[in-house]
Every structure is written in structure tokens, then in C-alpha cells.
Structure 1
């Protein structure tokens, strides 16, 4: 895991003016494009070369008619990421991701489609004003309203005499003017209607302010009052850099919460947002690690100190949606929570959630400070050292617990095991789990088999409690050869279809050998079935005519891009029909072999059950089937 901490001192802010209005609500699966929208998308594709766009992110090398690179979406030693300049598509043969220029930018930037469209439209100098969907109005208006409020709060902090307490607090916490401006920190005046009055003068309605979560309807009258009063204000941004909410810190002792966040709105869902993600995402990708903190000040202090791959969960336990957001950029998360009991419990719960998505979890241990903010202000060097030395969470949890529990007696060993087992059950990697089973067994001085039996019971009990919709973080998922076989089958099917596209005259040969019903993947099965329909009606096949006749067969599925790129490792450009058929027959044999292996695995499970039940008749029948398919398997070797 790479942990370079020093990043450039600033990153460009993404602030979009109010008149740049594009839907923020729609995803590619929800959009039915109007003709105008489709025209805009096509115009963007016409103006932008996918090679130029991709090369802004990763270096490409010419490889025949295509371009090649190491995939930016998974770790690989040999480059398998291909870009076709002619077809304006990309595909990675290592992780099977692929698509057009929109798909690449959407994935590498971690954006939704509307934001991707807006970014590429700006790059291509295509105006989108006339393409705005009507159902985006409410959210766009709320964004305009809250952006205006952010400017108002920020200006008050810098200029108002009444904001001196807020300025003193920021100075006391060590914030520079540059940091205050960069994070757009603000001040909400103590009066009841400061922001409402300001926004009213700017032409915003009470309903728009309500939709943005800025005001509250009075229960005593028909009026409204400001939600945030006499607070230091921290704007919360979405991934693209638009302000979508606020966190406000109380400045004086009194009633009310120390921190007050915006309510849930059309644009702000607390469980899906991470403070500072828009600034940190590139640094997270570069460092291949995200440092998750609890509070706004922790993050701001770290960022000011040059540690840029930092985000905050805004005082809540890390959610699955937030982990998914981070997973776009890295598989490594470091928790730098407060060192109190609540912070450690938040780390434990966060680890269980993160493990669901196969994320490596570490914990930053700063024993000399109660929180990261204090630790960094005391000694940035010591905090950086703690990041570099951050232990895996499981090791940290076991070591910390072992120091508290007396392992010299049975009660201590029992308590220790009961605390550790639920976390072991949450681990997804079988090698990692096995390692900690052995470590736990060593600490409590029992055989590993004893821990494995206890762990199995924990997994079963957890699964029973949660039912069929159980949380995968606490239920073991055994390895299934069938799943691997299905994935392998897709590789063979993809290569067969790629050969047919390149040598369409071979479709007649394949039709005699392969039934669509024998293809388990619904997408490839439907694609192949439609190819047969097209061929049957015309007694010929060509790809361009096919996609015009069956556009839905290739719409919005990145897997078809693999069929369109030249797979130089698999497909030779100048081979005769006999050689092509030999290659196709080899692939068909491998396809049948993978299906048989899958069925044999099922037979082995059934045979084991029949043996346990002492059912000799079923054993004889299953044994004959087993021998038959093993014989067929030998002929395909």
C-alpha cells in the first residue's frame, strides 16, 4: 500500500455558476434521452478524442491500431487496458471494465452520468442549457440557494464585526486565512433571520430555502427562522464540488447540539456523503489510501498540514454507501478517529462495514492526543509517522483487547474469544481469516480447530438471526467453484462472439455447435440469440447491420466493448477459415469442459449427502453419472 502524504498545496475548486443547470438527479439507468440530449452527447463524442481524454489520466502506448496501458481500475503488472481510436471505446481485458469516453470519465472521476456530461460538455465547449430535463428544476434551485447561502456565511465571517468570536475561534484552532477561504468556512449570525433576509433580497422564495434546509417553519406563527444561528459554518460538498449542506459548530456554551448538520434534502443524504471528498479524491487515488476522520476540524487541520487524502464521516458511523464512495478510489481505508471509547467503537463498526466490500482497514494510533486535530497541531511529523505505521485493524483490536483482558484464566480467555469471534466472522478473505484463527488460538492456548468450530457457530447464529437477507459482513461466504466457472465461461463466450464479429461467415458453424440456452450469462445468451435471429432472416451476418437492427442488444453494457476491440492475444488478423474453425472448436471444448466441471462439483456434493444418509440406490445412480461425465471430461482434455 502506498502512502505518499505530501500532495500539491491546492486543487482546483469545482464551483458551478447558477446559470449552468444540468440535471443532478438522473443516472444512466434512469435517463431516456430526448433528441436534443442525444444530439449533445453525440456532439461531445464527435469533438473529443477518447485517446486525448484518457491520456489526461494515464499514459498510453501505441499497440497496432489501438492504444495500450496498465489499467487504472485494478492492479496489474502487464498492460491489458486497450483504447480504440477508430471505435472510440476502451476495455480492460483484466477486469472486464469498458465503455465509451463517458464511461471512462464517469468511472475514473467517481461521478454520476449528469456530472460526467457536464464535465465533458465543458471540455468540448458544448452548451447544455437547452438540454436540461424538467425534473431537475427543484434540485438545481436548491443547489443555487445553498450556494448563495455559503457565500453569505463566508462573507459574514470575513467582514462582520459580530463574527469576531468566530474569527477568534478559527485562529485559536490554528486555521490560516488561506485555509478559511479554501474551505469556505463561514459564520451564521446570531439573529433569527439573517440568511432568510439575504436570500429573500436575492429573489429566493421561502420554499426554496426550506428545500435547501436553511430555514425552519415556526410552530408559533406563520413565519420562518434560520436553522443555523451563531455558529461557525462548514460547507459540505458533493463529489463534484457543489455545496449541498452545512455543518455548524456552536461558538458559545448553551443549550443545543455542539454540532448541527443540515437536514436530509433532495441533494443531501448524510449516509452517502463524506466531508472533503471533492478535494481529497485525487489525493486518495494517488496515495491509494483514504484517511477517515470524525470531524470537520480534524480534516481541515490535516489538509492544512499537507495531508490531503482525508475525509470525515461527519460524526456518524461509516456507512456502506460511504465505503462504496471511497471504494471508487482505493481499497485501503485508515481510521483516524478519536482515541476515546466512542471513537474506537466507531472504528470497530466501520471496519465490519468496510470488510463487506473487500477493503483493507487500518487504524491510526495517536496515543499522545485525544483526536487527529490535536495530534497534528502537537506534531505533524508524529502523526505522519503514525499513518505510515498504522496497523491492520484486526491486529490493533486483538492487541488492545489482549492488554485489557486477563488471558491467564479461563474466564479471561472466554471473554477474549467472545469479543474477537464476531470480527473474525466479518472478514471476507479466507486466508486473512485463517491467519487470525491461528493467532487467536495461540493467544488463548487452544487448537485452531476449536476456534474454527466456535467461529462456525457464530457465523451460523448470525445468519439465522439475519435471515436470508443477512449482512455479509458477519456471515461467511464459502468459496464456490461454480462461481469461478461461470466467470471462466464468460471469457470463452466473449472470445467466440469476438471471432464471429471478425469472421461473420463462421456463425453458421457455431449455430450447429452452441445453443443459446447453454449460455448461463443472460446478457451473452440474449446477444447470441439475437445474432442467430439476424442470421436466420438474412442467411448472412454483419455487425453494423446487426446493431442497427438490435440496438438494445448492445445498449448500456460495457461488456460489448470487449467484442469490438482487437484482442491481439487471441485473434490473429490473417488466418484462414479452417484455422478459425479450429480456434472456435477449441473454445467450444473449453466451454463444455467448464460446464462439466461445474456439474461434477454439484454431483460431488450430492454424493456426499447420499453417503451421509446411507442411500445406496441414489449413490449408484449418482456414481454412474459421475463416471459418465468424468469420461466425457477426459475426451476434452
Structure 2
């Protein structure tokens, strides 16, 4: 096992803000950073990262955790893999580990990454060293690419011979399965052996936002009658609908400018980068998707689409407008002179001319669509149709106020009358809502059909007469625990758990630092009492809106807040006011408020897991198949393990100490041990 001190070293070394910024555009807000939550769709930032505590929290959906949790959620990996990923990134050395978490799925993903990394190095060396790659080098030199830019983007060359990569990789000890799963080799049609997927092509590695090679694109050289580009297939690490070429290099530039340039081709991205324009990505030769736009929105709020001036480029541009608007992006469009693309324009006219063209010619989507209609004559001949198409784009904007502003601008241009435009927009919005509902129902039916198919397959599969030892033991454990499930509720009706009241009290009596601390370590789902759950959510909402949170504020609120405040803050038996006079010691309820919070948080989470266990036991009784029961059993076992771990671990070890000035003063130790001779 990896030692605990190594885990803490990674936790202390890893910059959570830097890690989160791979996926979310953050802005500083006091001690914290704010951004749009990557775990749910939202238009107003409710996702907070607090570097002092090394934690994140979304006050919209409740997701929270530390840097390890974030990497696990975003990458879909386990704890140990997340730990190793962070260790590699921040230069923390780790021992080799033989851990159960490194199961087949993990090993396969890591094997795929290793195969892709090997291929990237192999292709690059072929480009630089191989005589066969002379045509590829000549092509790149004609585009003005220097060695530095070729190395930065990992450009390479795939040899024409059908098995060169395959043989070299196997000779180096790489598993055939990893090469195949990575899409680098294909089985021979003759029935034995493999051959390379990419042959005789200029290679463009495709990276994920954190800089790992996840796929390749290969460009044909010369005038061969074959596809100009071929791309890696979908794999366990590559989903082309959620990937954009160059995003790993563009993140910083997009954050700095607030704007992303979307182009069509790989060479457009590389040429612009070589000319100091680094906020640029390409859609990798595929139609723009909502997943790709969502990825871009993590880093910036505005997008300028730059497509080729040919008919195909213009069609792609118009398709992308609605996707960008639906994501809540500020969409602009830039049309280059006839026959030019970003690559050719910058090589011919330079960086300054490109920036000047973008500044002067970029148009808001509405004005762009109007101008295009005026150019091709449809504004005069089919004005109603054009306006309807523009309104359909406006309808995709999620923000109502922004929609109304766009309609008013359209009215200024069209002179039709805003009443008529708003009526038409209302019809379009209604139809759009119906389309979304039909799509939702269609997906639901497809999901139900798939679930039915899986159930039928399970029913047809032979069921063993005797379960294995592990399953049998666990089934017995469930049977033994059933009477507990029918026990009376853990708290009498109407009585509020003390630990829940304690958390609310601490949030009321101390400043925003305490609200931030508690809010980052729990969520409303873990509260059992409905009134206290509502109270918690109300405090969080006021915290998000930067409104005052105090006993006085809630004492003056509507029912039932004054009653709850009295019940939470005032003790049934208060300490005598003369107590200090008699004893010389002044009583303070919270000698260490953060320790009080930790104890209450531990109790909250333990009771929540107990409740979850009862629900799972009920679900187990309702399972129709052996496979379903096994799945529920595994979940019950994991919940039980977590509950036991919580119960055995002291609160001070479960939750981090706040690192603010106030936190340090409230948590500092009374006694510090010194070695003999240090006095």
C-alpha cells in the first residue's frame, strides 16, 4: 500500500486550483475561486474552490471533495489511479504498488495510455530520423513549421510498411491487446497477426485537456486516391464528440482572453500557435457537438467561429451557432477572404493582420446571419423565412433577458415590430420544448428497451445452484441484518438530531469561513430532518448571494425560522451567570468551534450511511434476479466499509483543519511537546 505520508505529500503539493482549471474557468472571489460547475448544467457560478482548505464545493448540486475526488470524478478513475496521476504531474515519487484497485479495467486504460504514448514517440522519431519521412518533412517546412513547433505538437510520421509500429512495440514489451484497444493496430484479414492502422501518413497526436495522448489523426501525403485524413476509432480513453484538437495548449490563452477561436483544421491550430495566437482549437474534422462546446465553456464565455469560406465551411458554421448559444456562449463569427483559411491567411499576411481582421470583421451571430441573407438576396426575397431561422437560433439562448435583447436588435434591423417577433419566438420556444420532451421520452424508451434486453439475457443465462462462498456469506449477513431494518426510526418523530442542529448553530454564530467549511464537507441530502435540511439550504443560498447570515437575521424571518433559531441556539439548561464568580472560570460553549463542527459532521455522515444501508436492504428484497442482488450486495458492502471506517476514525483525522487566520487561532493546540534539551 502507498504510505499515508505519501498521500499527504501529494495532497499538500497538488495545486487544486490548477487541477480544477483544467476543466473549469475560475475567477477569484475572496479566499475562494468561483466557476460554473462541471457536474451539472448552470448559468450562474455556484462551484467554489477553496485552496486554503484544498477542497471544492458546488452549492447548486452539492458535489464536494478534495483534489483526489475531483480527478476521480472528472477522469472516471479510482483513488489510487488519481493519486498516481497527481503524483506524476506534481513530481512526487511513489513506490510501485500491488493494490486491488488496479483491476482489469484500470490496467487496460493505463495500457492504452502507455501504447498511445509509445506510438507518439515512435512516430515523432520516424519523422525526424527516417529517410522515408522526407516528403512529410518537406510538407511541414513548406508550411513554415520549425522543429520547436513540431515537437510541441508531437507531429510524426507513420511508415508505409504495414507492421513497423506493431513489431517495434511488441519488441519493446507492449501487449498486443493494448495496441489493439488503442486503435493503433488491426487484426489481419488473413486471420493471423496484426497490421498498423496508420501507414504512410503525417501524424497529428490528439491530447486530452491534461496533455495525455488519447488518439491520432493521419494525413495522407501526395495524391493517393484515399481518405485525406483517418482518425483513431472510439476507445476507452477517446470519445471524439467530447474532444477538441489543441485544447491542452489553448486553456491558458482562452482564460486570459475570455475568447476561444474555433477553426476547422489541425494545421490552422498549429500555424496560429506558431504565430503567438494560442487561444485556438479545432473540431478535429467532425461536426461540432454539445459536448465539445461544454468543454470550451469551462475556459471561456465567448467563441469566435472561423470556418472556410466554401459552402461546406459555411454550413458547418451555421450548425455551430445554435450549439454555442444553447451552451450559453457569446457567439461571434469571422469569415475570411475567399479562398483563405486561418493557416494560409496567417502564413501570407502575418499575426498582426489576422488580429486586425478579427477585431474589425468579427460579427455577432445575429448580424452575421442578417448580412449573409442580404448578400445572397434571401433577405429581400424570403425575409419571413430568414427571420424565422434567426429566431430559431435566438430560441436556443437559455437566458431570457439575453433572448429579449436579441429580439429587440432584430426588430431594429427588420422593422417588423417586436410584438410580432416575440409572438413568433414564443411559438418556436414552445415547439423546441416539445422536441426536447420527445427526445427525452425517446431516450427513456431506448434505455428501458436496453434494460429489458439485459434482464431477458440474465433470465436465459444458467443460474448456479449454489452461490460462491463470498456471495453465500454476504447473503447470510443480509438475512441476519433484516430484523434491524424493521426497528423503529433512529430518532423519535418530531425530534431533530442534535448533530444537525449543531451544524446549523455553528453556521449561524460564526462568519462565512465556518459556512464555507461546513458547506464544503457535507450536503443537504445527508440531513434527515426536513426543516433543518431547508434551513441548511437557505443558509447556503444566502452565502452564495453574499447576504448576511446570523442569528438576528433568521430571528426576524418568517415562520418557522424564529422557532428553529430558538430551538437550535438556546440550550435547555444554560450555565448560571454567577458561575464565573464562584469558579473564576468563564464557560464557553465552543472552546474550538471547528472541532465541534468535525464531531457533528462525523455523526451526520455515519447516520446518513446507516440510513443508506437500510434503503439498500429494502432494495435487496425487491431484486428480481441473482445478478441484481449481487450488485446491491456489493454496494451494501462498500457502504458498510465506509461506515465502519468513519466510526473508527477520530473526527480530527476525518476532516481537514481550516488554514485561514481565524481557523488557525481556533484550532491551535494548547500543549506542544518538546524534545529534552529544546526547552
- Smaller-chain TM-score range? 0.5 to 0.7
* Alpha-carbon contact 1:285-1:330 (below 8 Å) kept: yes
Please give the TM-score of this superposition, normalised by the length of structure 2: 0.61
Displacement of 1:499 in angstroms is: 1.8
CA RMSD in angstroms comes to 5.0
* Alpha-carbon contact 1:248-1:260 (below 8 Å) kept: yes
Please give the TM-score of this superposition, normalised by the length of structure 1: 0.64
Q: Choose which of 33, 37, 44 in structure 1 pairs with 2:10.
A: 44
Q: Distance in 1 between matches of 2:422 and 2:271?
A: 44
SS of corresponding position for 2:318: helix
Find the counterpart in structure 2 of residue 127 from structure 1. 94
Find the counterpart in structure 2 of residue 289 from structure 1. 259
* Alpha-carbon contact 1:59-1:69 (below 8 Å) kept: no
Q: Distance in 2 between matches of 1:292 and 1:111?
A: 30
- The 1:307/1:36 distance shift into structure 2, 3 A limit, reads same
How many aligned residue pairs are there?
485
- The 1:260/1:294 distance shift into structure 2, 3 A limit, reads same
- 1:350-402 CA deviation, whole Å, 9 max, x = no partner? 22122222111112332255311111112122211133332222221222223
SS of corresponding position for 2:35: coil
* Alpha-carbon contact 1:405-1:416 (below 8 Å) kept: no
Find the counterpart in structure 1 of residue 353 from structure 2. 382
Q: Choose which of 351, 365, 368 in structure 2 pairs with 1:396.
A: 368
Q: Distance in 2 between matches of 1:440 and 1:227?
A: 51
* Alpha-carbon contact 2:32-2:50 (below 8 Å) kept: no
* Alpha-carbon contact 1:60-1:68 (below 8 Å) kept: no
Q: Distance in 1 between matches of 2:76 and 2:279?
A: 15
- The 1:329/1:455 distance shift into structure 2, 3 A limit, reads same
SS of corresponding position for 2:215: strand
Q: Distance in 2 between matches of 1:312 and 1:83?
A: 33
Q: Distance in 2 between matches of 1:51 and 1:188?
A: 38
- The 1:565/1:151 distance shift into structure 2, 3 A limit, reads closer
Q: Distance in 2 between matches of 1:90 and 1:221?
A: 52
Find the counterpart in structure 2 of residue 221 from structure 1. 191
Q: In the TM superposition, what are the counterparts of 1:238-249 in structure 2 within 5 Å?
A: 238-249=208-219
Displacement of 1:445 in angstroms is: 3.2
SS of corresponding position for 2:261: strand
Q: Distance in 2 between matches of 1:54 and 1:469?
A: 32
Displacement of 1:335 in angstroms is: 1.2
* Alpha-carbon contact 1:283-1:308 (below 8 Å) kept: yes
Displacement of 1:199 in angstroms is: 1.0
- The 1:469/1:412 distance shift into structure 2, 3 A limit, reads closer
Q: In the TM superposition, what are the counterparts of 1:578-597 in structure 2 within 5 Å?
A: none
Displacement of 1:139 in angstroms is: 0.9
Q: Choose which of 400, 417, 422 in structure 1 pairs with 2:392.
A: 422
SS of corresponding position for 1:266: coil
SS of corresponding position for 2:337: coil
- The 1:187/1:459 distance shift into structure 2, 3 A limit, reads same
Q: In the TM superposition, what are the counterparts of 1:66-465 in structure 2 within 5 Å?
A: 68-69=30-31, 71=33, 73=35, 85=52, 100=66, 118-119=85-86, 123=90, 125=92, 127=94, 129-130=96-97, 133-134=102-103, 135-367=105-337, 369-380=339-350, 381-389=352-360, 390-408=362-380, 411-465=381-435
Q: Distance in 2 between matches of 1:49 and 1:147?
A: 25
- 1:497-541 CA deviation, whole Å, 9 max, x = no partner? 61267899xxxxxxxxx9943467698599999xx99x99x9999
Q: Distance in 1 between matches of 2:60 and 2:434?
A: 37
Displacement of 1:230 in angstroms is: 0.9
Displacement of 1:349 in angstroms is: 2.0
Structure 1: runs of 5 or more not aligned: 1-34, 62-66, 75-79, 472-492, 505-513, 574-637
Q: Distance in 2 between matches of 1:175 and 1:82?
A: 40
Q: Distance in 2 between matches of 1:221 and 1:522?
A: 67
Structure 2: runs of 5 or more not aligned: 37-46, 442-501, 516-526, 541-560, 575-588, 591-595, 610-641, 643-654, 667-679
Displacement of 1:138 in angstroms is: 0.4
* Alpha-carbon contact 2:370-2:379 (below 8 Å) kept: no
Find the counterpart in structure 1 of residue 523 from structure 2. none
Displacement of 1:46 in angstroms is: 5.7
Find the counterpart in structure 2 of residue 602 from structure 1. none
SS of corresponding position for 2:133: helix
Greater displacement, 126-135 / 93-102 = 93-102
SS of corresponding position for 1:235: strand
Structure number with higher relative contact order (C-alpha < 8 Å, ≥ 6 residues apart): 1
